[in-house]
């Protein structure tokens, strides 16, 4: 279980900042269009290793149980099937960061005016979807999946011992869903300096998906995530990026926050990084 910080940060452009303040929403991008080009195939590779992991687990904990072998294969099939079904309507992801004023994040925006929005954790907990920290270490990723598989196996084996009772399958369905959700929080170790958290939302209907354009990738599918209640404490900090440090930039943010009644509880801060282009 992730321990939530009081606040997380979302780095964005000037137009992105305006959209967040005015709408009270974050845009969550289709997972296939995120900055780690290996994200989709990574899930396939992790599941291949996990398949071997589960069979090893069965041999170690239930060496003489044919029933355990059956349940292990059931887990493998259901997780892989669910992962494949995720193709047309997969997870959509909004990226956050545990730290403000990071050089690696500001560089992303190049000559654009970058901003960093500090949002209270209560505003970030989504009504639907998940909020969790990204896992970068390969072994930690496998360990997460292994733990869920062990719970599935133990529960199913215990249930099979009470043949006269109808088992509650919802518990096991939830474990399958959690396993697929874990894949959303797995990322290549090369990105570990991003200190990333993610809000992920499953969009299972075409009318939940919108589209935007970008110079690099063209058409990008996305969905919206509401930032909880639109109360005055939702936005806690606005950091102005190092390439846009004039007094006019600060005054513009004051007016933007005032327009939505958010100025009183939000601090405006300027980057301390001496970055110039």
Report pLDDT for 277. 59
pTM of the model: 0.85
Report pLDDT for 202. 82
Distance separating alpha carbons of residues 57 and 163, to the nearest angstrom: 24
Report pLDDT for 3. 84
Report pLDDT for 12. 94
Report pLDDT for 81. 86
∠ Cα 45 47 53 (to 5°) = 115
Report pLDDT for 74. 96
Report pLDDT for 26. 92
Report pLDDT for 165. 56
Report pLDDT for 182. 86
pLDDT by residue for the chain (277 residues), tens only, comes to: 578 899 999 999 999 999 999 998 999 998 888 876 676 677 788 999 999 999 999 999 999 999 999 999 999 999 988 887 655 557 889 999 999 999 989 987 656 789 999 999 888 876 567 888 999 999 999 999 999 999 999 999 888 765 555 567 888 989 998 898 888 888 888 888 889 999 888 887 889 999 999 887 899 999 998 886 556 568 999 999 987 777 899 999 999 999 998 888 899 999 998 876 5
Question: Mind listing the pLDDT tens digit for each residue in 122-148?
Answer: 888 765 678 889 999 999 999 999 999
Report pLDDT for 166. 56
Report pLDDT for 266. 93
């Amino acid at each position: 279980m992730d321990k939530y910080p009081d606040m997380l940060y979302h780095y964005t452009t000037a137009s992105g900042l305006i959209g967040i303040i005015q709408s009270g929403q974050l845009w969550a991008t289709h997972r296939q269009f995120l900055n780690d080009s290996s994200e989709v195939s990574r899930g396939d590779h992790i599941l291949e290793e996990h398949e071997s992991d589960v069979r090893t687990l069965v041999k170690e904990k239930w060496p003489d149980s044919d029933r355990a072998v059956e349940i292990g294969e059931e887990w493998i099939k259901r997780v892989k099937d669910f992962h494949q079904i995720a193709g047309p309507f997969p997870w959509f992801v909004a990226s956050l960061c545990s730290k403000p004023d990071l050089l690696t994040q500001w560089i992303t925006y190049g000559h654009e005016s970058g901003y960093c929005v500090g949002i209270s954790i209560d505003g970030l907990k989504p009504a639907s979807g998940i909020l969790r920290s990204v896992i970068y270490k390969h072994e930690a990723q496998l360990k997460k999946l292994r733990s869920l598989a062990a719970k599935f196996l133990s529960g199913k084996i215990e249930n099979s011992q009470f043949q006269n009772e109808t088992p509650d399958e919802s518990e096991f369905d939830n474990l399958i869903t959690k396993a697929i959700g874990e894949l959303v929080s797995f990322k290549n170790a090369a990105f570990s300096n991003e200190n990333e958290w993610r809000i992920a939302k499953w969009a299972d209907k075409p009318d939940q998906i919108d589209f935007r354009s970008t110079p690099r990738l063209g058409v990008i599918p996305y969905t919206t995530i509401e930032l909880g209640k639109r109360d005055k404490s939702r936005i806690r900090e606005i950091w102005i990026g190092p390439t846009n440090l004039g007094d006019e930039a600060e005054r513009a943010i004051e007016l933007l926050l005032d327009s939505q009644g958010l100025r009183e509880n939000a601090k405006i801060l300027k980057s301390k990084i001496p970055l110039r282009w």
